[in-house]
Structure 1
Amino acid sequence: MINIKPKEASAIINSLISGVVPKMGVQHITVGRSEEINAFVLSLEDVKNGQSLVKFWIGDFGSGKSFMLHLLNTVAMKQKFVVANADFTPDNRLYANDGKGLALYSAIMDNVAIQTKPEGGALPTLMEKWIEQVTSKTSEENNIPVTEIRNDQYQKLISANIMKTINEITEVGGFDFGTVVIKYYEGYINGDDQQCRNALKWLKGEYKTKIEARQDLGVREIINDQNYYDMLKNFCKLFVSMGYSGFMINMDEAINLYKIATSTMREKNYEKILTIYNDCFQGKVNNLFINFAGTKEFLENERRGLFSYQALKSRLETNKYETAEIRDLAQPVIRLMPLDHNEIFVLLKKLREIFNSNYKVEIDISDEDIISFMEVIFNKPGASEFLTPREVIRDFLNIMNLLRQNPHVDKSCLFGEIEVSDERPKDDLLDSIEEL
């Protein structure tokens, strides 16, 4: 029996029926990824010890890349990492001069998560925790009783310690970063919620003009397309100074970088990936773990993918001695192999149990019924070419839902109505776009 919380069961069923990866509970439905997870845990130990890493999770559409990133989150949070997720979109990218890089940064900071707040939105919690740490340290160093350290007369002393700590851990933008954190501290101590909101707005990159930020917070600069990566590195150092193991950032849907129409802008984004890659592997940044998830085209296409940028191609080419049986999971690129039929069978059995737990029912679906369902769906025309685990899961849960609400319906009739379609995104215009 799966030991699962009702909140997790609900998140799993509702998300998977909707065709998206659940934000919580993914460990309950993990099958066939033990080698990848074991290698990832070893990598986390390296990052805990001060190294930084970049990994590329490559797989076909619907093969489980997004699921894998969510699973990595769960594992990393248990190892006391701060984690964050963001998807690349047409309006979110690594390099831009029109706010799209800042939009990616804001998405990352919005989704900051820790084990006690796994759904995201943990930045205020982290800031308050850090301020409490600085306050306690100030109390201890100056022999001021903990019961008195929050009095008005000691605010300047704590503010000075905040700025001192910030200066020790930051390289770029430290003064304004420290000033904003002090503003957050003052708002936090004095119960000024608006000042706290303004400080968080700055830290999350939501100020559009320097004038507005100066009026609200008295700072000279704002986070923008050019400096947001430096701010991510500053936050990484801050989290580690608080006692966390490191900062892990997951960026999904990297195919949207591949889709950038102009070769110049696409190259600038790949250049940013190269900068991050070199920073991490050359020791220019510590305790940072960045994961990219994308398709084989995003990686290998010689005209539009990462392999179109020679410096990245030379770094990301697969170990030439690797085979399907002998894998190198220490290299930067991890290829996600499709789940085999046995693994999908185990997965569907788990989903049956979670579904029954969520709705407090016992749907009449036996192991033999699951095998019949799989035989039907995998033998449909187009299955070998188009069928993905996502579609198998959604069809299975949809049938479970119908049987829950209509117990008299014949299961075999529902199985017979299954159709397989090509769920891959249609990019009819992609190859016809003129390179500029």
Structure 2
Amino acid sequence: MLNNIKPKEATAIINSLLGGVVPKLGVQHITVGRSPEIEAFVTSLDEVKNGHSMVKFWIGDFGSGKSFMLHLLNTVALKQKFVVANADFTPDNRLYANDGKAVALYSAIMDNIAIQTKPEGGALATLLEKWIEQVLTRTAEAQGIALTDIRDEKYLPKVQAAIMSTIQELTDVGGFDFGTVVMKYYEGYITDNDLLRRHALKWLKGEYRTKTEARQDLGVREVITDVNYYDMLKNFGRLFVSMGYSGFMINLDEAINLYKISTAPMREKNYEKILTIYNDCFQGKVSHLFINFAGTREVLENERRGLFSYQALKSRLAINKFETSEIRDFAQPVVRLMPLTHDEVFVLLQKLKEIFDFNYQTTIDVSDADIHAFMEELFNKPGANEFLTPREVIRDFLNILSLLRQNPGLNKQQLFSEVQIRDERPNESAVDAIEVL
């Protein structure tokens, strides 16, 4: 059943799932039951490649696989030559703020930029250098300078002029400072000035907090802030497309942390930012941009503090009233993630058993019949229908495999019977109780 899995991927899968988180690598090897969603997503990617932009909301119960789905989308998009970035909303990261929390989200996005050759993130410097090489080649051809000579410091002004000219063509807002910083990066690149390159990357990642510090280090007058970070994301999107990439995809998980914002005005400002992004994408104001949000049904549908509390979003995100669990509409902005069937869970556990054995170079004595017995024990326990999630099933199964690997004589059936159902959902009623109106 294993298909060309690499040892590094197997280790990432097992270690991450044992820790209760989604692996950054290898999610395609443990994907079951999401083929229709992926097919629709590939169609959307094709539209974005052709110049459109897209926003999708991946909605499901706690532990239903939303984060897994975003990582799977990453894998697919990277193969389609997209630049991809991931970030989680947290109490300190959000879309709108006036105290640095929005630019903190921007910094997290820039830190996690990935391309196919660097799928784990940290690819911003690689992309900058690739783009600079392209500018060098075009400048050498235009100026009649040999490629072997263009890096000479005497040609620095010509290359810097070409960088600035290209940046000005690509950017709408903040282009001058953006171009100046990229020129500084190039200067550090050809003079082996690592400090200058680090300062340029620091600015581009939104890590300067004062204009004074940025002016001292780079000679620019502005920094990336809560106000202008979205414009910078759009600038980077155009830059990536100019390099030959298909587009820029940004995945934003844990939208529950927007729902949890205690003050209604601040929460509405964040929803207003979502509306701005939504309108920009679907009205054609930006191109080649794909933004995915992931959250629970409560985050979407709660009319007091969820997305539906903001009327303009509610009207745009209303579910197709003709959709059922059997008849799906994947073209709409909201994609509901249905629970895995028992057959799909069985196939998933089979795959995990093979990956576990491959990772540890062993063969655990757990047969398909044992997997069935484990599932029967688990799904028949009180509370299973209400509280059991794929995350719990996976972690319990891998914990048992881990015990059996280290203690081969243990009784499997006894281990199966000792599995307990836990309610791991966040207490959203408590969130409602602390709301400050």
Alignment TM class, shorter chain as reference: over 0.9
Residue 279 (str. 1) matches residue 312 (str. 2) = no
Residue 61 (str. 1) matches residue 85 (str. 2) = no
Secondary structure class of the residue paired with 1:250? strand
2:374 is matched with which residue?
373
Letter in 1 for 2:52: Q
Q: Normalized against structure 2, the TM-score is what? A: 0.99
Secondary structure class of the residue paired with 1:54? strand
2:292 is matched with which residue?
291
Residue 132 (str. 1) matches residue 138 (str. 2) = no
TM-superposed deviation, 1:381:
1.1
TM-superposed deviation, 1:429:
3.2
1:187 is matched with which residue?
188
1:144 is matched with which residue?
145
> Taking every aligned residue pair, what percent have the same amino acid on both sides?
76
Q: How does 1:29-428 map to 2 (within 5 A)?
A: 29-427=30-428
Query: Contact 2:55–2:333 at 8 Å: present in 1 too?
Result: yes
Supply the distance in 2 between the matched residues of 1:113 and 1:235 (Cα, whole angstroms): 13
TM-superposed deviation, 1:435:
3.0
Supply the distance in 1 between the matched residues of 2:369 and 2:407 (Cα, whole angstroms): 20
TM-superposed deviation, 1:400:
0.2
Query: Contact 2:181–2:220 at 8 Å: present in 1 too?
Result: yes
Unaligned runs of 5+ in 1: none
Secondary structure class of the residue paired with 2:305? coil
Secondary structure class of the residue paired with 2:20? coil
Supply the distance in 2 between the matched residues of 1:201 and 1:431 (Cα, whole angstroms): 38
TM-superposed deviation, 1:434:
4.0
Task: Note the alpha carbon deviations across 1:182-222, whole angstroms, 9 max, x for none.
Answer: 00000010000000000000000000100000000000000
Supply the distance in 1 between the matched residues of 2:153 and 2:264 (Cα, whole angstroms): 57
Supply the distance in 2 between the matched residues of 1:113 and 1:350 (Cα, whole angstroms): 27
Letter in 2 for 1:139: A
TM-superposed deviation, 1:282:
0.2
1:14 is matched with which residue?
15
Letter in 1 for 2:116: Q
Secondary structure class of the residue paired with 1:10? helix
Secondary structure class of the residue paired with 1:303? coil
Supply the distance in 2 between the matched residues of 1:247 and 1:263 (Cα, whole angstroms): 31
Supply the distance in 1 between the matched residues of 2:91 and 2:166 (Cα, whole angstroms): 38
Query: Contact 2:153–2:190 at 8 Å: present in 1 too?
Result: no
TM-superposed deviation, 1:81:
0.1
Secondary structure class of the residue paired with 2:398? helix
Q: Normalized against structure 1, the TM-score is what? A: 0.99
Letter in 2 for 1:74: T
Letter in 2 for 1:310: Q
Letter in 2 for 1:388: T
Secondary structure class of the residue paired with 2:356? helix
1:24 is matched with which residue?
25
Supply the distance in 1 between the matched residues of 2:390 and 2:303 (Cα, whole angstroms): 28
TM-superposed deviation, 1:320:
1.1
TM-superposed deviation, 1:153:
1.3
Unaligned runs of 5+ in 2: none
Query: Contact 2:185–2:200 at 8 Å: present in 1 too?
Result: yes
Task: Note the alpha carbon deviations across 1:59-105, whole angstroms, 9 max, x for none.
Answer: 00000000000000000000000000000000000000000000000
Supply the distance in 1 between the matched residues of 2:435 and 2:285 (Cα, whole angstroms): 38
TM-superposed deviation, 1:159:
0.4
TM-superposed deviation, 1:321:
1.2
Supply the distance in 1 between the matched residues of 2:144 and 2:435 (Cα, whole angstroms): 69
TM-superposed deviation, 1:426:
3.0
Secondary structure class of the residue paired with 2:84? strand
TM-superposed deviation, 1:427:
4.4
Secondary structure class of the residue paired with 1:108? helix
TM-superposed deviation, 1:255:
0.7
Supply the distance in 2 between the matched residues of 1:180 and 1:145 (Cα, whole angstroms): 26
| Residues 260-269 or 135-144, more deviating | 135-144
Supply the distance in 2 between the matched residues of 1:311 and 1:427 (Cα, whole angstroms): 24
Query: Contact 2:173–2:231 at 8 Å: present in 1 too?
Result: yes
Supply the distance in 2 between the matched residues of 1:432 and 1:255 (Cα, whole angstroms): 15
Letter in 1 for 2:324: T
Supply the distance in 2 between the matched residues of 1:298 and 1:208 (Cα, whole angstroms): 31
Secondary structure class of the residue paired with 1:429? helix
